[in-house]
Structure 1
Amino acid sequence: MIPEAGLAALWLAASLSVLGLLLSALHVRGTIDADRPVRGLAVVQGLLCLFAFVMLLIVFARTDLSVALVAENSHSAKPFIYKVAGAWGNHEGSMLLWVTVLGLSGAALAVFSRQLPSRTLIAALGAQAALALGFHAFLLFASNPFARLDPAPIEGRGLNPLLQDPGLAFHPPTLYLGYVGLSVAFSLAVGAMLAGDVDRQLARAMRPWVLGAWIFLTLGITAGSYWAYYELGWGGWWFWDPVENASLMPWLAATALLHSVAVLGARNALKAWTMMLAVIAFSMSMVGTFLVRSGILTSVHAFAVDPTRGAFILALLGIYVTAAFGIFAVRAANLREGAPFEPVSREAGIVVNNLLLTVILGIVFIGTLYPLIAEALTGEKLSVGAPYFNSVAGPLAILLGVLLAVGPLLSWRQERRPIARKLAIPALFAATALVIALLAMPQASLLAKAGLALAAGLLPATIIPLIGRNPLRTPLTIWGMAIAHLGAAVSIGGMAADTAFTTEKLTAVAPGDTVDVGPWLVKFESVSPVAGPNWTAVEAELRASRGGGVHILKPQSRYFTDPPTETNEAAIQTLLSGQLYTVLGKSDAEGRYQLRLWWKPLVTLIWFGGLLIALGGLLALLGHARRSWRRRVFR
């Protein structure tokens, strides 16, 4: 009865979304006063979605093979953590997680955003109910997670071994919290445009949702990048895979929206920009959902193979985005901007920032979707990979980084002091790093050298806004901005260092052989069979030495039976100066094993910087929460 209870909860939640949509429409038109009923319906709908998802977790934890989704994606011998994580390691379960986060977001909006005018809040809840209704319909009619099997199989097929990793328990949920969190910003924008209340009060209500979504997207992308880096055994941290781009595009839009909503809150300006970016950000989340869930991509991330599901999601995307941009087109002319600002000002810097982010988003969007569209029209497969993205988006990203250093040093409305004096120290750091890079690394790409120079200049630029302030009295929002920008500098430095300094060695070795890579000597000591809870493997023992220090690494070549899959488990030695990355391949007729080695100086800065960016966002979120609490208590 557990699956039936979950399915019944979904049907009831869908019914409540219809009722909530109707009541909110009547409230906005002024026909009835439905403020309390609409908010109550949003809360109950969110709880019903949560109940349905808990039911799915239970059937996966029990390995209930009478449920088709469990039989196709689980196995009795699978470790318990992966049984539970398998609930969202598939198409139907991941979409139920999406709907659950969507429902809970609507419930939280109903409970915590009462400072908004009633008409705006109820219109936003109506937009959220419309989103929920579409995805409820998708689950119930195209992707039922609780469908039964009769008779039940004796054993399940198991989960994709590449997804049997602790990263799976963290990466997808955080991304979904980011994706669906942007739905609230979307709904608030739609509600405010319908009610005609685009002002500072809206910005205060919207900013925590944008910040929260942006934090989770940052964490999800960072975790996903590191998961792919160590789990797939290819030694890279970003491949410009379409599914990677599916998470990057909402993050770019959310970053622009975060800066725009800050201007709306502080200066009552950039109203049209903020409304447009709120629509674009959630649209990019929908595009990402379409890419991953449509079946048009073949990827470890992509679950659906049924094109009808893709058509359903594409229809939802078309309906929601067309309706939102239609409302924007009608209402944008009525959006009155706040106080004007000069070309050299913080507002102007944020406008340029948003333009650059939007252009980069467009580049990634075209590079991701064009091959798919071309294949659909001509049948010819095209490949748009790293060379395109690096050469086209890379220089714009460098310009964006320069603006990241300049923007926080500008004043609101008009910069009255010479900006060159403020930038003297960052410029000196950047120039020094660039000269060193040009002289010491002639073989490195110009983009890598520019990245190192940019990171060097960003480091002091992030500290300058804190100079002269009392650390204990400095607002958390200022600390958050500084730490997030510092994280960007650290990540850029790690990316540039990895590109400029990485050395690689691919060779065939037998026990006793020694290989050098960078400053390391790696001896292939032995190879032996090992077994895990649901896999067997061939494991090599490597003795890596450098400057008197010795480290033992044990890369594996694993074989899973359910489903039959071979994987490479990289062994990585992490030091402050970088990572030694080792991968064991297949053996040949002579008993030698393929061994792939990388020495990656400072590569860990990439993910450490990502964590700093998320930490900065969290501090800013806490600062806004404290300011909001004080405003309510002391008003």
Structure 2
Amino acid sequence: MIIELGHYALILALVFALAQTVIPFMGARTGDARSIAMAPNLAFAVFASIALSFTVLTWGYVVSDFSILNVFENSHSQKPLLFKITGVWGNHEGSMLLWILILSLFGALVGAFGGNLPPSLRATVISVQGTISVAFIGFILLTSNPFERLSPAPFEGQDLNPILQDVGLAIHPPLLYLGYVGFSVCFSFAIAALIEGRIDAAWARWVRPWTLAAWVFLTAGIAMGSYWAYYELGWGGWWFWDPVENASFMPWLAGTALLHSALVMEKREALKIWTILLAILTFSLSLLGTFLVRSGVLTSVHAFASDPTRGVVILGILVFFIGGALFLFALRSSTLSNGGMFHPISREGALVLNNLLLTTATATVFVGTLYPLAVEAVTGEKISVGAPYFNATFVPLMIPLILAIPFGPVLAWKRGDLAAAGQRLFVFAGAGLLAGLAVLYFASGAPVFAAIGIMIGFWLVFGAFADVWQKSGLPKAGVKTASARLRGLPRSVWGTAFAHAGVGVMTLGVVSVTAFEQEQVLRMSPGDVTDLSGYSVRFDGLTGQRGPNYVDDVATFSVTRDGAPVATIEPAKRIYTARQQPTTEAGIHTRLFSQIYIALGDRTEGTDEIVVRLWWKPMVTLIWFGAVIMILAGAFSLSDRRLRVGAPVPSRKRPKRAAAPVPAE
């Protein structure tokens, strides 16, 4: 009976979502205050219903109720509790339920924290969110019911895909969906603005916190997914240009452009058309990612579904929302103005350059991801587009972007002085140059391009704080005065500086591991020793171990340097008994920002000889450390009171009196 309650709650959510779509929208069009006031409550009702449905499905996993087809196909009674819970979203049906749960959460958050919005705009935004909910709840009920029953109920389940039984998968999908789906609010704001005809600086100020929140979560989700693939799959790489990876990367690139474009619109009321279009395209790319993962057109370790019927339905949803939004944009575009004018050499101009490079980079990833699918659909021929294409198209776009980033914050609004900005950045450029020369000096045989990459990375790390340094008044201002000025800076200024520095740190990690990584592939027997970048790695032997639902062959490697012990690394080959599916558990030892990485290959039958892959990965953790800096910087910016409060509204309680000057914030 509990399981049926979850199904009924999902149906009830569809009813509430239909009401959320229709009632607030009609109220906003007719000026009916009661219908407008119902919008938040309807959003809360949708969220509560889906939350109840999700809780019931989770309960089915926890108690191993194998009368539910979804639980039978993706769980096992011997599986650890954590992986029973994460198994809820380790499959198509459950992950879609998580998708709409997060979608309804954002609708409820707009209802809860949108009190500073004009009532009709908030009602329209919630109505658009309801329309998206109707489409995806209907999709789940019609094609992907997670509560489908089995009779008679099996005694045991088939277990979850072994590579998904990892702590990283407990974190990665929820974070990714909070980013993916979070951009739905930006989309809803854009559609509401087009419907209401209100597109101004206040609109940009309202939409920017939602964009930043979604960007922070998507950054965290991509970074977590990258690190999971790095240590779990045993390939030794941190990014593979897998089509499903690209599906999350494209909305991140577009969302980054949207974040900067909304800033220009808020400060200067410029780029209005561009900002609205980016809000539509960013969520459209999120929908495209949903289609790629669940349509069966891709074969990937990340893909969930292979049912073409579901793919057709999602394609229909995608066409409806993307096509409808772009059609509405085309109808309204003639009534929109670009807003304030500015000189090409200005902070606005720098942000426009940033947007052009980011959107062009998005287009290159889009083409590289979808072109093979288009060729296969037309000709039936399978082709692959891999790292060579992306390295030749994406990387050249990133180099000028990174070089230009420090200039933006130090340029003035409306009209700037490039020569003066260059003088302010001269010291930071010199520091980056010295760092690159140091690489050439200390790293014997370092490629010239690696040194240039190191220079660019340090240029961004140092240059990111040029604006902060300038605002402090140093070196002319005294330490006490400078300290007071730094403490008084808005949190968004610090967040911007650290986010840009995080990109620089990530660049240093990417360049270092790409240029200086060392790899060995060899067969080793117990007692064999090999050298790896100054370390001695000895294979001590294999031991069998048993886990709750798997068996392991664990290899022990002793790592020494100049005879002194450094670490013991224990990679493993694991077989999950229910599915008889092997996985590779990499052994990793971290030394400061670098890592020794060992993965096992095939074992020679009847012996302890085994194929071993060893890597020395210098500065590789800077890739994820840079991402963490970006995430924390975004969260710190989001805590800025100016973003949390949004556009001010007049107080109704304030008595009428003569106007008096009000000091600026």
Structure-2 separation of matches of 1:322 and 1:473: 46
Deviates more, 1:222-231 or 1:33-42: 33-42
2:182 corresponds to? 181
Q: Residues 115 and 558 (structure 1 numbering): CA distance in 2 closer, same or farther, change over 3 Å?
A: same
Three-state SS of the structure 1 residue aligned to 2:488 is coil
1:18 matched to 2:18? The reply is: yes
Listed as ranges, the matches of 1:80-95 within 5 Å are 80-95=81-96
2:542 corresponds to? 527
2:592 corresponds to? 576
Structure-1 separation of matches of 2:648 and 2:429: 40
> CA deviation digits over 1:390-430, x for unaligned, max 9?
11100101111112122122111111462220221232233
1:113 corresponds to? 114
Listed as ranges, the matches of 1:340-379 within 5 Å are 340-379=341-380
Structure-2 separation of matches of 1:506 and 1:514: 13
1:605 matched to 2:606? The reply is: no
Identity between Structure 1 and Structure 2 (%): 44
Three-state SS of the structure 1 residue aligned to 2:590 is strand
Amino acid at match of 1:176: Y
2:553 corresponds to? 538
Partner of residue 495 from structure 1, selected from 493, 504, 510: 510
Q: Residues 471 and 384 (structure 1 numbering): CA distance in 2 closer, same or farther, change over 3 Å?
A: same
Indicate the RMSD between aligned Cα atoms, in angstroms. Answer: 1.9
Three-state SS of the structure 2 residue aligned to 1:334 is coil
1:592 corresponds to? 609
1:426 corresponds to? 428
2:394 corresponds to? 393
Could you tell me whether the CA contact under 8 Å between 1:398 and 1:450 is conserved in 2?
Answer: no
**Residue 25 of structure 1: how far off its partner (Å):** 3.2
1:77 corresponds to? 78
Three-state SS of the structure 2 residue aligned to 1:418 is helix
Structure-1 separation of matches of 2:429 and 2:336: 39
2:461 corresponds to? 459
1:97 corresponds to? 98
Structure-1 separation of matches of 2:525 and 2:649: 71
Structure-2 separation of matches of 1:137 and 1:445: 56
Could you tell me whether the CA contact under 8 Å between 2:364 and 2:394 is conserved in 1?
Answer: yes
Could you tell me whether the CA contact under 8 Å between 2:598 and 2:615 is conserved in 1?
Answer: yes
Could you tell me whether the CA contact under 8 Å between 1:437 and 1:449 is conserved in 2?
Answer: yes
Amino acid at match of 2:105: L
> CA deviation digits over 1:85-138, x for unaligned, max 9?
100000000000000111111111122112222222222112111111100110
Amino acid at match of 1:30: T
1:320 corresponds to? 321
Could you tell me whether the CA contact under 8 Å between 2:535 and 2:561 is conserved in 1?
Answer: yes
Listed as ranges, the matches of 1:256-335 within 5 Å are 256-335=257-336
1:53 matched to 2:62? The reply is: no
1:515 corresponds to? 530
**Residue 443 of structure 1: how far off its partner (Å):** 6.5
Three-state SS of the structure 2 residue aligned to 1:311 is helix
2:125 corresponds to? 124
Amino acid at match of 2:421: I
Three-state SS of the structure 2 residue aligned to 1:484 is helix
Structure-2 separation of matches of 1:28 and 1:194: 10
1:62 matched to 2:63? The reply is: yes
Three-state SS of the structure 1 residue aligned to 2:583 is strand
Amino acid at match of 1:2: I
Structure-2 separation of matches of 1:627 and 1:148: 45
Structure 1 length normalisation: TM-score? Answer: 0.97
Q: Which structure 1 segments of 5+ residues have no match? A: none
Could you tell me whether the CA contact under 8 Å between 1:425 and 1:460 is conserved in 2?
Answer: no
Three-state SS of the structure 1 residue aligned to 2:554 is strand
Could you tell me whether the CA contact under 8 Å between 1:157 and 1:563 is conserved in 2?
Answer: yes
Structure-2 separation of matches of 1:450 and 1:378: 43
Deviates more, 1:487-496 or 1:420-429: 420-429
Amino acid at match of 2:463: A
Could you tell me whether the CA contact under 8 Å between 1:394 and 1:447 is conserved in 2?
Answer: no
Three-state SS of the structure 2 residue aligned to 1:63 is coil
Could you tell me whether the CA contact under 8 Å between 2:542 and 2:608 is conserved in 1?
Answer: no
Could you tell me whether the CA contact under 8 Å between 2:538 and 2:558 is conserved in 1?
Answer: yes
Structure-2 separation of matches of 1:577 and 1:227: 17
Could you tell me whether the CA contact under 8 Å between 1:25 and 1:126 is conserved in 2?
Answer: yes
Q: Residues 445 and 179 (structure 1 numbering): CA distance in 2 closer, same or farther, change over 3 Å?
A: farther
Could you tell me whether the CA contact under 8 Å between 2:541 and 2:608 is conserved in 1?
Answer: no
**Residue 624 of structure 1: how far off its partner (Å):** 4.1
Q: Which structure 2 segments of 5+ residues have no match? A: 473-481, 655-665
Could you tell me whether the CA contact under 8 Å between 1:497 and 1:602 is conserved in 2?
Answer: yes
**Residue 29 of structure 1: how far off its partner (Å):** 2.7
**Residue 335 of structure 1: how far off its partner (Å):** 2.1
Could you tell me whether the CA contact under 8 Å between 1:28 and 1:195 is conserved in 2?
Answer: no
**Residue 345 of structure 1: how far off its partner (Å):** 0.6
Could you tell me whether the CA contact under 8 Å between 1:578 and 1:603 is conserved in 2?
Answer: yes
Amino acid at match of 1:90: N
Amino acid at match of 1:53: F
1:478 matched to 2:493? The reply is: yes
Structure-2 separation of matches of 1:441 and 1:149: 63
> CA deviation digits over 1:216-272, x for unaligned, max 9?
001001111000000000100000000111110111111001111111222222111
Structure-2 separation of matches of 1:281 and 1:370: 20
Deviates more, 1:484-493 or 1:328-337: 328-337
Could you tell me whether the CA contact under 8 Å between 2:406 and 2:466 is conserved in 1?
Answer: no
Structure-2 separation of matches of 1:493 and 1:577: 11
Could you tell me whether the CA contact under 8 Å between 1:510 and 1:524 is conserved in 2?
Answer: yes
Aligned residue-pair number: 635
Could you tell me whether the CA contact under 8 Å between 2:593 and 2:622 is conserved in 1?
Answer: no
1:242 matched to 2:243? The reply is: yes
Listed as ranges, the matches of 1:412-451 within 5 Å are 412-416=413-417, 418-435=420-437, 448-451=450-453
> CA deviation digits over 1:30-65, x for unaligned, max 9?
264421122221121111111111111111111110
**Residue 447 of structure 1: how far off its partner (Å):** 5.6
Structure-1 separation of matches of 2:448 and 2:139: 48
Three-state SS of the structure 2 residue aligned to 1:471 is helix
Structure-2 separation of matches of 1:168 and 1:571: 18
Structure-2 separation of matches of 1:28 and 1:443: 68
Could you tell me whether the CA contact under 8 Å between 2:202 and 2:647 is conserved in 1?
Answer: no
Could you tell me whether the CA contact under 8 Å between 2:75 and 2:159 is conserved in 1?
Answer: yes
Q: Residues 287 and 629 (structure 1 numbering): CA distance in 2 closer, same or farther, change over 3 Å?
A: closer
